[in-house]
Structure 1
Amino acid sequence: MDKITFSNIHSYGKVIDENTLYKHIHFPEMLIMYDSNYIDFKQMPTVQEFEETALFLRSYHQKYGQNHVKFYLPENEKPTDELLHYFQADQYEIGFYELYSIQPDQFPSLAVNSDISIQAVSNQSLTEYLQLQFEIDSQFGLEFATQKSMLHKQNFANNNVLQIIAYYKEKPVGTVDVFLSKDIAEIDSFTVLDSFQKKGIGSHMQKFIMERFPQHTICLVADGEDTPREMYKKQNYQYIGYKYEAFKLFFD
C-alpha cells in the first residue's frame, strides 16, 4: 500500500470548501467538536494569509455559535519564525501531533493476565461502553459528552468502526475505537481510566487489535508533547511524521 499520511486519519468533519491554500472542514452535527471543525492548510501560509484565513474562520464559526478557531499546518513542515511570533502575540495555543504505524506481527508479545479482559462492544456491553465513554468525555463538559454519545451510538451501527471495551477484574476501565479502511486500522480515542493505568490494560487493548486485524497496517496519532508516544516507540511503532496545529478559544 502507499505510505500512510495524515490524510488517512479519520475526521468526522467533511470538506465544505477548498482552494489552493487550504481545505475547510466542518461538522454541523457537532459544532463543539474542535477536531472536526477547522482549516487544514495545504501549504505554509504567510502571516497575512493566516490572518485573513483566521478572520474568515472566526466569522464563519460565529454564524454557528462556535467559539473557537483551529488550524492545521502542512504535514512535516514547521511554522516559520514569523508565524510563531504572530501566534504568540495573538495568544494562540501551538502544538503538534505525531503519526505512527506498525505491522501487527511486530507488536511485542504479552504475558496472560487473567484480571484483564478485552472485548469488542456488543449489544450486551453497549450500555457499559456508553456509560464509560460518557465519564471519559465529560472532562470536556456535559454538553460535549451528551452530543458525543450520539456519535458513539452511530459508530456502533457502522461496520467500518470497531468499538472495544476493557475490563479489569470485571470492571469497565478502558475504551478504544478502531476506524477501518481497506488496508488501515486506525486506533482512536484510546483511553484507560487514570486509576487503572500502568496495569498493562492499554497494551492488551492494542494486542487485541493486532490479533483482530493481522492483515492491516495499524496506525495512530499521538500528542507530540505527551508521554504515551514514548510507549508507542517501545512497542515497535514506526514514526511517520508530524503536523502542527494552532488553536484559539474566544470567550466573548
Structure 2
Amino acid sequence: MQVTFESIFTHGHVVVENNLYKHYHFPEMLSRYDSNFIEYKTLPSLDEFKEAESYLREYHLKNGQMHVKFKFPENEKIPMDLVNYLNLAEYDIGFLELYTIQPDQFPAVKDHPDIEVQIVTQKNLMAFLNLQYQQDIVFGSNYANQKAELNKKTFDNPNFMQLLALYKGTPAGAVDVIIKKDTAEIDNLGVDEAFQKKGIGSRIQKFVMDTFHDKTIILVADGMDTPKEMYKKQNYQYLSYQYYCQKVEER
C-alpha cells in the first residue's frame, strides 16, 4: 500500500475543487488553521497564487477568520519567485514530514508501574477533555472551547480511538488514533509539560502498535521541530515532505 499525504485525515470539508486546488473549510472550528486552507494539486504560478490568496482572504473574512493558509504539492519545493513574494508579505513558511512504521519495528518498551494507558470511555472522557483543554488554552479560550467540542464529536466517531495516559493516576498524555482499513494514524500526540521525559509518549505509541499490530502506523511531524528526531530513533521511516505557508491578519 502506498502511503502519501492524501492518506492523512483532515477535519474539514472540500467546498471548492478545481484543476489547481482543493479548498477545505470547517465551520465547526473556524480557528483551526489545519482545517481551513487551500491545498494545491499542482504548483501555482505567482499570479495564480495571488488570485487564490484574494479569494481565500475574502472567504475567511466573511466568516470572521483572520488567517490564510496554503499547502503545496507533496515533494515539491515552492518556486523562488513565490518564496520571495511570501517573504515580502510576511508569511510563515514551513514544511511537514510524513512517516510510517510497521508495528513490529517499534522498539521494545518496558512496562512502568507509574504509567497506565487507557482507551477513552465515558468513565474517563472528562479527564481526557480537561487535559486537552489545559494544553489548548494557550491558543485562547475560543480555540480551546471549539477544540473541546471537536474532541467530543471525535469520541463519538467509530473511526477514531482516543487514548489517555496516566502518571501515578494523574492525566499526563493523550493521542487520537484515526483508524482506516490498512492504516492507523497517530494524531495530536501530546504529553503535559510537567510529565515529559518520563517515557509516556513512547508507551502511548507502544499501546497503538500493540492495538493495531496488523496495520501500517502513520504520522505527520513538523519538519522543523525536534519530535521528528525521536521518531527516527524509534524506527519510523521517512516518506515525503509537504511545504505550507500561513499568515494571520492583524485585526
TM-score normalised per structure 2? 0.99
Q: SS of 1:66's equivalent?
A: coil
Distance 1:15 1:166 in 2: 34
Q: SS of 1:29's equivalent?
A: helix
Letter of the 1:60 counterpart = Y
Residue 182 of structure 2 corresponds to 183
Q: Deviations over 1:168-202 (max 9, x none)?
A: 11110100000111111000010001121111000
Aligned: 1:127 with 2:126: yes
Residue 75 of structure 1 corresponds to 74
Aligned: 1:234 with 2:238: no
Aligned: 1:92 with 2:91: yes
Distance 2:50 2:138 in 1: 31
Residue 7 of structure 2 corresponds to 8
Q: SS of 2:240's equivalent?
A: strand
Letter of the 2:182 counterpart = D
Instruction: Show structure 2 runs of 5+ residues with no match.
Output: none
Residue 163 of structure 1 corresponds to 162
Distance 2:148 2:193 in 1: 21
Distance 1:76 1:197 in 2: 33
Shift of 1:33: 0.9
Distance 1:63 1:22 in 2: 20
Distance 2:12 2:154 in 1: 15
Shift of 1:93: 0.4
Q: Deviations over 1:16-55 (max 9, x none)?
A: 1111111111111111111100000111111111111101
Letter of the 1:159 counterpart = P
Distance 1:101 1:139 in 2: 30
Q: SS of 2:187's equivalent?
A: strand
Letter of the 1:15 counterpart = V
Q: Deviations over 1:60-91 (max 9, x none)?
A: 11111110000000000111111111110110
Q: After superposing the two structures, state which structure 1 stretch, 116-125 or 199-208, moved more.
A: 116-125
Shift of 1:157: 1.1
Letter of the 2:36 counterpart = N
Matches within 5 A, 1:1-252: 1=1, 3-252=2-251
Shift of 1:14: 1.1
Letter of the 2:133 counterpart = F
Shift of 1:150: 0.9
User: Percent same amino acid among aligned pairs?
Assistant: 52
Distance 2:44 2:170 in 1: 49
Shift of 1:122: 1.3
Distance 2:9 2:138 in 1: 22
Q: SS of 2:194's equivalent?
A: helix
Distance 2:124 2:98 in 1: 31
What stretches of structure 1 move > 3 A for 4+ residues in a row? none
Instruction: Show structure 1 runs of 5+ residues with no match.
Output: none
Distance 1:205 1:225 in 2: 23
Q: Cα RMSD (Å) of the superposition?
A: 0.7
Q: SS of 2:64's equivalent?
A: coil
Distance 1:139 1:7 in 2: 30
Distance 1:144 1:136 in 2: 11
Distance 1:177 1:72 in 2: 23
TM-score normalised per structure 1? 0.98
